[in-house]
Structures are given as structure tokens and as C-alpha cells.
Amino acid sequence: MADVTFQEEPVTLLGEDISEGDKAPDFTVLSNDLKEVSLEDYKGKVKLIAAVPSVDTGVCSEETKRFNEEADKLDNVQVLTISMDLPFAQGRWCAANGVKKLDTLSDHRDADFGEKYGVLIKELRLLARAVFVVDSENIVKHVEYVSEVTNYPDFDKALAAAKEAE
């Protein structure tokens, strides 16, 4: 398991670590209009998946806005931001921040994504910050479990991996 802290305190991540070269596990989350969404819904596309604790906090908000801006520069790449926020809150946040080029998805119902990707924080029932790039064949090409949840991921590495996987 990845060693991760939240505000410099160690936390326990539930689920299995994902590694480069793994087949990406399918998962079920909810869209902002409460429809079930799975990895298979993005079949044939490269997926840049950002797990965040809550889009309504400073670092998560800025990260999501940055990936939204970068989405325009990527061909055949779908950017997904997954959090435990309620779908309604995600939708309001996207509308208030002009985020239209990526999908915000909620794992609040079952924590299915969190457990399958090893990012569910046991103590808080939030997702740890992580980025996964999955190619069009659903093979994991890049993984970053951010060691301190309140820090940003390495945007450049994630975006380079997404471009390389296109």
C-alpha cells in the first residue's frame, strides 16, 4: 500500500494499489445526473482519472480547473475527476467554475472506485489524491499516489503520459 498522509498524519488506504501495466479495474460511480457510469463507458478512449477528496476545497478545486484547461489540448483523452462529493454538489461546483471539458463523478454511494484503485481513506471516507492514466485498451500507463493528500499531483507527468497513450 502507498504511504499517504493527510495534513501530515498517516492515513489507511483501503483496497489494492494499482501499478503501471495492470489492467484497469472496472468501477461504478455516479454522474452529476445520478446515472451509473463505469470505465466501459469510456471504451476506446484514453482516460486521465484524477481522484480527489472534494472538488469544493482549495487544492482539489485548482487541480480540477487545471485538468479542465488541459483537456482541450488532448486528443482522444477523457479527463475524469472522481470524489466522494454528492453528484449535486459536483454539478453546482462545475457550473460555478465553468468546468465543462471533464467529467466529475461521485463515488459516494458504494466507494467502488476508491476500493478498486486503493484510494479510499478509511479514517475519513474520502478519496486520497491520485492520478491514473489508462490507455484505450484499459491498461494503466501512469500512476501517482500523492504522498500528502493536501499537495498537488505532478501535472506534467500525468499529461505527458496521457499524450503518449493517445
Provide the domain count of the chain. Answer: 1
- What was the pLDDT predicted at 76? 93
Give the cell for residue 147.
504522498
Residue 54 CB partners (closer than 8 Å, separation 6+): 60, 83, 84, 85, 126
Over the stretch 46-76, which tens digit does the pLDDT of each residue have?
999 999 999 999 999 999 999 999 998 999 9
The pLDDT tens digits of the residues spanning 84-117 come to 999 999 999 999 999 999 999 999 999 999 999 9
Choice among 4, 13, 48, 60 that is catalytic? 60
Q: What is the CATH number of the domain that holds 110?
A: 3.40.30.10
Q: Which domain holds residue 29?
A: 4-165
pLDDT computed for residue 41 by the predictor: 97
Query: CA dist 95 to 34, 65, 85, 88, 92, Å?
Result: 16, 12, 15, 11, 5
Is 60 a catalytic site residue?
A: yes
